[in-house]
Amino acid sequence: MDYFLNKIDKHLDNHGSLDQNMNALKRKLNDLNGLKEDIESRVSSELQPTKKLKKEVQIWLENVERINGEIQSLDGRIGESSALIRGFQSEDVLMRMKEVEEHIQQGKFSEGLVVDNPRRIGQVLSTSTLSGEATKLCMEEIWQCLMNDEVRKIGVWGMGGVGKTSIMKHINNQLLKETHKFDVVIWISVSKEMSLARLQKDLASKLDVKFSGNECETTRAGMLFETLSFKFSRFVMILDDVWERVSLEKVGIPESSNGSKLVLTTRSLDVCRHVGCNRVIQIKPLAEEEAWNLFLEIVGGNILNIPGLEPVAKSITKHCAGLPLGVIVVAACMKGLDDLFEWRNALKELSLAKQSVNGLEDEVIQQLRFSYDRLKDQKLQHCFLNCALYPEDFAIREIDLVHLWIAEGLVEEMNSRQAEYDKGCAIMNRLINNCLLEVPTETENGRCVKMHDLVRDMALHITCGTPRFLVKAGMRLTEPPDMQEWRKDLEKVSLMENWGLQLPYPLEISPPKCPMLTTLLLSGCNIQSIPEGFFKHMHRLKILDLSANPIKNLPDSITNLKNLTALLLRHCRSLEKVPSLSKFQVLKELNLEATNIKEVPCGMKNLLKLNYLNLNGIGDLHEIPDRTLSKLSCLQDLIVGETLISGEDVGGLKKLEILKGRFYDLHNLNAYVQALHGREEPLEYIIRVGERGWVEQINTRKYIELCGCNIYTNQIILPHVEELYIKECNLNCSEGYPLFSRFILISLSTFSSLKFLDIYNCKGMKKLFSPNCLPLNLQELSVSECNKLEEIIAIELGWNQRGKATMEFHLPQLRLFSLWNLPKLKSICCVNGVIVCDSLEIIEPEEWWESVEWDHPNAKSILEPLLRSCWIVLNYFEVGSSRLRVNAQQMCNILAVKREEEEEEEEEEEEEEEEEEEKEKEKMEMLGVIPVCYCGNPIGFHLRSDSDIVQWQNFVHNRCRKTLFYFAGAPCAAIKNDFRGLLLNHCNNASGSCKAMDRTSSFVPTKPP
């Protein structure tokens, strides 16, 4: 009875002090956030392009963000809790307060926040093979100028399509790879429509200079000038495709006096002279023989075997006038044709085209037009022309372009949106193979393609006729085109990326009369309102893109656009309301991502043909009403982010291929899975369940997050989940029941696809896996802040492995194993168990070095100073009253060495290093020091005597000065073959309860006395 009375008294005390403790926690948190702001200010001043943030500082800042989120979540739960529950939450508050205090102490960073960053800044660019001796000689001349300190500005000029950009891309990559003369290489694509403000903005993004948006051109120039003058010793700046005279002073580019270089490419010799280039290099067309060799290289030399074809092919090549772009494009469209009649016909078409133009550049346009005409397929041609709707030199996102084609009906309609997307990608590849689009590049926004400016000029030339386009994208417009430009036969209009563009009131009185218009692209402008009558004469409009505009309301007249198939309003952050959608009977795509709407648009239930819905990133849209989604039977892509959805409603969507949303609770997730009724789960999903969570990075296409959920026995999970994050969940059944045994095995393959598992702060969990539920394809496992966890792999009563004395648990793909702050952890597996982890790579144990006992008396004294000099991650690891005994003879189970990334060295130095490593390796093997995994990967060592330790010490001093050592192995580890890593942090009761084996012998940690 006294025991229960004491518990009640403690609970009442906790309840009474909760508010006081919470206020104290908030004060401490304010102190921590103040310290964070101070550190961020120091980072801004200390962080330069030649410096990088210390890893410990980066981790500290990330942890402060995490702590803020968790305390905010805790405060919310306390506010919603009943009086009975509040008493139990006081311990959480005290624990958080202790954590905040620890982070305040850790945040002093008296030794600075940054370290030297030896890696140079620059971007490797995609290149094509250069052709012709003259071209290679020009490239060598440019390179010599760059290496010559007396040459400061270099002008590279020549007509369009001659190869200026291709040469400079090779130079750019060569600078990044082969020389340490410059510490930054900056590539800026200028293009025809470039403004001074845009040039400054692009340069700032390369230099990581932050503009607030309120600076004038002079202020921006000063900021850029300061960065280039004082934060770099030497730089190379390449301005590609400069059309007009440019003032370096107005941009903010300093006149070089320290060996820095400026290179510009242009079609105008006058531009080179105006900038003051002291070396000007002209790129001339290919010689006749060089052009012919390039043509043969692309089209294939087998055409020479066709009687009578060679002279025709040579005549076609001559029409390309030695311009590499023309040769490449024409040859690409002739590739694979082996009929002499087709070649003769092609020659005739080129000859007729040449007769109809004046000037060499117009002739190039006609050469490119020849390639367009030979696409034959009209839909393919329209797909190509659509690429010209984007601004010049614009990185077009592959996904946006394909979605545009799908919305316009240029991609064959199929039952699957994924199949349509794949078809669109196939179309894109055809355009790339015909050299009408450049090879895709990976950017931070995903895969992007570009059009060569001459190819785009050709496309715009075509759209002056039929089909007729009006394209003024990225041209710095502040007003829409004049009324005479809005012709009645216009089919597509693009005014995108005109940041000052607005639609003035006169357009309401005299709106554009474009009855044939099907596509209107107005994204990335400054449109704050749309005149009510603007869409009055656009009845055939199918695609309307108003994305990224500060628009607040849409005109009611938009509801009359009954033929609309795509309405794109993403990132209209001021948009609060959308008119009724009930009349949009054929709408297929609705994108309201990152708008400010408060509720689901009226009439959304009537969008019976809708197959794409994006409501992601809408902070005030908390939930989608029941029985709304279930009406949208054609929906294939549903992206709603943190907005709550009903599992039963979503389960009725039989065509769903992509699902990204949040269920109320596990009951709703179960309802969704059960509603599938044997159907395939979506091809891609990000499903969050319960409270709003926060994850820095998602690694897979099938992700589930459980946050603040109640997990009962017999919960259901999608069978092919690849990534699972379980945070702050309550286990409402026997604590001794392994967590992964609570989920119903929907099929034998349940968890067979699981690659990433992260479990955080699940307080009731004592056991994680049972032997039957091990996810065999697991690659990363992280368990932290689970204060009752005792076992990772729990052997259930009656389980055996066919009478084997030693039980093996295989996790063959596991490469990261992280255990953090698990005070009750006793073992990874049972006493006679072995975990076989052939792929384990990363281990970062802390806080156990001082408690380690060595069976060799000199081992610790020799290793400790050596390791601490090599940036060791070492702290105190408490093992209760027991001590962990380490056998120095089995060092390969104790030490793992992970090399940091090193600068690439010149080829001669690399060869010498490899020879030296081979000699060192042979020497070590003769001494009995066995490298488990050598050079570039973690290294394990098997040491047999004092002399071996000394030899190993010498080896480290000589060869591993840039090596980060991680202590690993003995506690709770059972590793076979290439043991590489295990992370054990704050695991106070961990004992050596598993065997560990290597190729030479086994290591069994001594049990605590």
pLDDT by residue (tens digit) across 386-409? 999 999 989 999 999 999 999 999
Residue type, 873: V
Give me the pLDDT at residue 613, please: 97
pLDDT band at 912 (very low <50, low <70, confident <90, very high): low
pLDDT by residue (tens digit) across 471-506? 999 988 989 999 999 999 999 999 999 988 999 877
Round to whole Å and give the CA distance between 709 and 712.
9
Round to whole Å and give the CA distance between 240 and 125.
13
Average pLDDT value for residue range 642-669: 93
Worst-scoring range by mean pLDDT, 57-66, 309-318, 467-476, 871-880? 871-880
Average pLDDT value for residue range 867-875: 31
Residue 3 has pLDDT above 80, yes or no: no
Give me the pLDDT at residue 255, please: 83
Give me the pLDDT at residue 832, please: 64
Average pLDDT value for residue range 247-253: 90
Worst-scoring range by mean pLDDT, 38-42, 474-478, 695-699? 695-699
Q: Where are the alpha helices (DSSP H) in 608-761?
A: 647-651, 666-675
More confident residue, 336 or 920: 336
pLDDT band at 12 (very low <50, low <70, confident <90, very high): very low
Average pLDDT value for residue range 47-74: 80
Give me the pLDDT at residue 796, please: 61
The single-letter DSSP state of residue 850 is G
pLDDT band at 734 (very low <50, low <70, confident <90, very high): low
pLDDT by residue (tens digit) across 570-593? 999 999 999 999 999 999 999 999
- To the nearest 10°, the Cα dihedral for 48, 52, 56, 60? 50
pLDDT band at 48 (very low <50, low <70, confident <90, very high): low
Give me the pLDDT at residue 794, please: 78
pLDDT by residue (tens digit) across 226-244? 888 887 778 899 999 998 8
What value, to the nearest 5°, has the Cα angle with vertex 358 and ends 352 and 360?
Answer: 95
Give me the pLDDT at residue 569, please: 97
Give me the pLDDT at residue 20, please: 83
Residue 528 has pLDDT above 70, yes or no: yes
Round to whole Å and give the CA distance between 324 and 134.
12
Give me the pLDDT at residue 739, please: 66
pLDDT band at 864 (very low <50, low <70, confident <90, very high): low
Q: Is the dihedral of CA 764, 766, 772, 773 positive or negative?
A: positive
Most confident among 115-124, 685-694, 795-804 (mean pLDDT): 685-694
pLDDT band at 13 (very low <50, low <70, confident <90, very high): low
Average pLDDT value for residue range 416-422: 94
Residue 942 has pLDDT above 60, yes or no: no
Round to whole Å and give the CA distance between 831 and 208.
54
Residue 547 has pLDDT above 50, yes or no: yes
Give me the pLDDT at residue 604, please: 94
Segment holding 186, helix H or strand E: strand 184-189
Average pLDDT value for residue range 503-511: 82
Worst-scoring range by mean pLDDT, 38-52, 88-102, 220-234, 970-984? 970-984
Which long-range contacts (C-beta less than 8 Å, at least 24 apart) are formed by 1002-1008?
1003/887, 1003/890, 1003/893, 1003/969, 1003/970, 1005/884, 1005/885, 1005/970, 1005/971, 1006/884, 1006/885, 1008/879, 1008/880, 1008/881, 1008/882, 1008/883
Residue 1009 has pLDDT above 50, yes or no: no
Worst-scoring range by mean pLDDT, 467-471, 518-522, 887-891? 887-891
Give me the pLDDT at residue 351, please: 80
Average pLDDT value for residue range 178-189: 84
Give me the pLDDT at residue 54, please: 81
CATH topology classification for 133-282: Rossmann fold (3.40.50)
What percent of the chain is predicted at pLDDT more than 70? 74
Answer for the pair 153, 279: CB distance below 8 angstroms, yes or no: yes
> To the nearest whole number, what is the mean pLDDT of the chain?
77
pLDDT band at 921 (very low <50, low <70, confident <90, very high): low
More confident residue, 773 or 450: 450
- To the nearest 10°, the Cα dihedral for 503, 504, 509, 511? -20
Give me the pLDDT at residue 907, please: 59
Give me the pLDDT at residue 116, please: 65
Assign 650 to helix, strand or coil.
Answer: helix
Segment holding 919, helix H or strand E: helix 907-926
Give me the pLDDT at residue 182, please: 85
The single-letter DSSP state of residue 431 is H
More confident residue, 930 or 478: 478
Give me the pLDDT at residue 892, please: 31
Average pLDDT value for residue range 613-637: 92
Average pLDDT value for residue range 457-483: 91
The residue assigned the tokens 């495709």 is 241
Q: Where in the chain is the domain with CATH 3.40.50.300?
A: 133-282
Q: Which of 171, 237, 243, 150 is nearest to 200 (CA)?
A: 237
Give me the pLDDT at residue 693, please: 66
Answer for the pair 971, 1005: CB distance below 8 angstroms, yes or no: yes
Instruction: Record the tokens describing residue 921, joined without a space.
Output: 């390796």
pLDDT band at 908 (very low <50, low <70, confident <90, very high): low
Give me the pLDDT at residue 904, please: 46
Give me the pLDDT at residue 836, please: 75
Round to whole Å and give the CA distance between 66 and 55.
16
The residue assigned the tokens 């509801």 is 559
Worst-scoring range by mean pLDDT, 63-77, 345-359, 697-711, 730-744? 730-744
Residue 736 has pLDDT above 60, yes or no: no
Name the β-bridge partners of 644.
623, 662
Residue 353 has pLDDT above 90, yes or no: no
Give me the pLDDT at residue 827, please: 75
Residue 807 has pLDDT above 80, yes or no: no
More confident residue, 804 or 544: 544
Residue 687 has pLDDT above 90, yes or no: yes
Give me the pLDDT at residue 838, please: 73
Residue 984 has pLDDT above 70, yes or no: no
